[in-house]
Amino acid sequence: MYERALFAVWLLTLVLFQSAESCELRPVLAQVPKRLPAGYVISEGTEALTLKGCAAKPVAFTSSDPNFTVNTDGTIIAVRGLVITTKRFSVLVQDESGLDRRVDIILSYKNEASQKSSSVAHKRIKRRWRPLPFSVTENASPPFPKDLEMISSDSSVNYTVHYEISGQGVTTDPVGLFILVKETGMLRVTKAVDREQYPQFNFIARVYDQSGREVDAFLPITVIVDDVNDNAPEITGGRFFSVEERCRAGTPIGQVNATDKDLANTTHTLIKFTLLNATDMFSIEPFTGKLTAKTNTLDREAQDKVYVNIEVRDMGGNPTGLFNRGTIVIALTDVNDNPPTFKETLYKANVKENQENVLVTRIPVEDKDLVNSPNWKALFEVTKGNESGQFRMETDPKTNEGLLYVIKGLDFEKTPVVKLEITARNAVPLVGNDNTWLSVPLELSVGDEDEGPEFNPVIQYIKVKENVPNGTIIGTYKALDPETKNSNGIKYYKVTDPGNWITVVESTGELKTANTIDRESPLVHQDKYNITIRAVDESKKVGKGMVILLIEDENDNMPVIPGTDLVICSKGDALSSVLVEAVDPDKPPFSTPFNFEFGAESDGKWKLKDKTGNSVVLEQAVPLPSGLYSVPLLVKDLQGSGKEQIVNVRVCSCNREENGVGICGARSASTSFGSSGILALVLSSLLLLLICLLLLFICTTKRDKLYINDDTGTSGMLLKSNTEAPGEEVKDGALMIIPGTDAMDGSLQNGTMVSKNLNSAPGNMGQQFFQGSGVYNTTTQDFGTDKYYTSGRYDNNLYGNRGFQKFSNTSALDTWNTNGRYLERKLAYFGGEEEGRYADDVLKTYGNEGVGSVAGSVGCCSNLGEPESLDFLNTLSPKFRPLADVCYTTNKN
């Protein structure tokens, strides 16, 4: 028995030992192409990664190198293309119990040259560096430094070597984190490392002999920092959410997000969300953070915002995990789940009768929904008692009260109290099957007022025949006092009567005819004629009513042919026709059908056919030549009332027909022109002849040019125009009076210059143009082949191609103009004289001719010496010659 127990213990120890032995995780060695493509499978179902021989099963794989990934079955795959010499990384395997295991992966490229021929012996390549890779746990506790791994090169067999390292963590930040024992190759770490700051380190190891020669290729070293759970998760992103009140249970609200700085895809970052309050209102999915409504009874009116505390814990919510807490806000948005409610169970109001468009009362309501939202705004309606449309309801936008208006006056005598029902609604539909719109009764008391008389009915219809004799009583239209219900003291007056056909008896309201009632009058519409009557009681209150006369027709009109000028298109030997229509303003049976007959003077050239109710076809009985024909027709109505009428029918050749009516063609001039046309042609010919004679006379008659100067010699003094004879100004000695009548002859009649045409003197005086009053203008004068230009001041008249004008020898203005004519001739003479010119082409200042001038001053203010004689014109030289040269320019073109 003892031996069996001892054997069992030995067997159990062996099994456990073998189990422990088989669960040992060895590095994964794999040969790959030197150029490793993306998607390349490094190894499939690696036993070390699948924890073969271990009691636990793997649940997650994490590669330390982002260039590689591991499937759930332990297959290692390259994520992107790489060039491989020697590649080392590790895979972190997490089992079901949460335990993390690390498996080293070592890749080397295949020596393809050694595999080209099967005859070549496969030679085992010896590792040059060992062991690899390295790892260090973050936040390791002292003491430091700590030994990590031994670096060893195969060259140490042949040489005495020492090792050196450089790169990140050695010679670059963080400098001095790793140190190396040069002689032994032991790698050490000098202080704690934070993985969240430095997840891994990459540096280079080199080996040298005693002479300092590098005896082996450098070795890239990667030190992976193993993660420990040293960071608690934190809530990130927005913390404000909203959801409608009364929403269905399970309605999504939002997503709560949290992050953990520890290594991703490990239990260190497996976060669990937990609500710490409001668990009866909301729920959250533990590992996604999706927030949903838990009930359908969320009520904004009870609580419009809910503050929810949330805990986020890593390690999948394990009590040993690290955690943080935060608060989120969930706002409940409003829906219309509360109808407007009335503050009273019965409302009362008062209004005077006959008042219109007045506010009667205000009806306040309460609504728990969001103020100023469509869910809160109330809409009011009179649901009972407003069948006649006498009321309207509005809403005060500020107070949300209902406003009741009377739009049609109420009648106290008919309804002293009006009972209404008011219903309040919202602008949007109501939510919830248990909610309905509410109503409230309202009693409106109508106040009595003294009213004017009222016609009953307001519109009265009276039948009357047209053409009834004047003074005939056709009816009575009375009004009653609403209070006394009688007509005592009421007087009646007409307001409107377009044709003045009716008179109203003031005291009784009787209606009498005042003029002939005519149904065919344009004042009658559809046999109706309107009269407005006003009733006035003793208190001067007024009431209005309307009387509509229904006028009955009488046979007081005969049929008439409106168009008595007709056209028949001649069609050779064919017999043509035309339609004759008649009208009668009367109504049947006093009008159509009409009877058409020929009159007594008919000549037998025509016949009637195709009679209708109001028309007949007039056709030629024999072919007729073109011309105008008179056809007597007798037209009678259904009662035999009618008269004979003459229809003028023109037979002609038609150019066209429009709507069945012929249009005659052009006729000869002898028939087209009347006496007026011939007279117009004669007058036009005579007028044309007169115009031709006038033009001929103008072209053959030539007059001297008129020269008029506004300078009257009075030094700017205006002459009086109302003097009957020359004034004292005319006798001024400064004016020159030129005697003689051979060249000039004139007379003054009624203060106006009278001029006569004379034959032009030898030479052409040219054309004179004057621009505006009192400005200097230029005159062109031709003498022989020379052209002269002179400037002078003239009035605002334009003269051209005109002859000499003779001026009165008694008028100062005429005398001055005559002197101007002589002066102009003298200037022309000196301007044409070639020899003895005193100022060739040189303009001189008027006020100063220069030192030594024999002429002296030629100022414009010099006074004339002998006004009664023209001898001075012959003694002007040499004083006058410079002035002539200045004023005239010879143009020898």
SS3 769: coil
**Second-level CATH architecture of 454-552:** Sandwich (2.60)
User: Taking 90 as the threshold, does the pLDDT of residue 288 lie above it?
Assistant: yes
Q: CB atoms < 10 A from the CB of 334, how many?
A: 20
Rounded Cα gap, residues 511 and 474, in angstroms: 6
| CATH superfamily of domain region 571-665 | Cadherins (2.60.40.60)
Would you state the pLDDT for residue 101? 81
Mean pLDDT of 551-564: 87
Rounded Cα gap, residues 213 and 209, in angstroms: 6
CATH for 341-447, among 2.60.40.60, 3.40.50.720, 3.90.1150.10, 3.20.20.70? 2.60.40.60
| Rounded percentage of the chain residues whose pLDDT exceeds 70 | 71
Class of domain 25-112: mainly beta
Domain coordinates of the chain in residue numbers?
Answer: 25-112, 136-226, 234-333, 341-447, 454-552, 571-665, 734-891
Q: Do domains 25-112 and 571-665 have the same CATH topology?
A: yes
Q: Of the ranges 57-71, 428-442, 603-617, 861-875, which one carries the lowest mean pLDDT score?
A: 861-875
Mean pLDDT of the chain: 77
Rounded Cα gap, residues 288 and 109, in angstroms: 43
Are the C-beta atoms of 557 and 586 separated by less than 8 Å? yes
Confidence at 100, pLDDT banded by 50, 70, 90: confident
Confidence at 271, pLDDT banded by 50, 70, 90: very high
Mean pLDDT of 150-172: 90
Confidence at 772, pLDDT banded by 50, 70, 90: very low
3-class SS letters over 607-636: EEECCCCCEEEEEECCCCCCEEEEEEEEEE
User: Taking 80 as the threshold, does the pLDDT of residue 354 lie above it?
Assistant: yes
**Share of the chain residues as helix, strand and coil, in percent rounded to the nearest 5:** 10, 35, 50
Rounded Cα gap, residues 868 and 865, in angstroms: 9
Mean pLDDT of 749-770: 37
Instruction: Give the residue from 717, 706, 724, 892 showing the smallest Cα distance to 814.
Output: 706
**Second-level CATH architecture of 234-333:** Sandwich (2.60)
Mean pLDDT of 19-35: 70
| CATH superfamily of domain region 136-226 | Cadherins (2.60.40.60)
Mean pLDDT of 103-108: 85
Structure tokens at 279: 């668990």
Helix (H) or strand (E) holding 10: helix 2-22
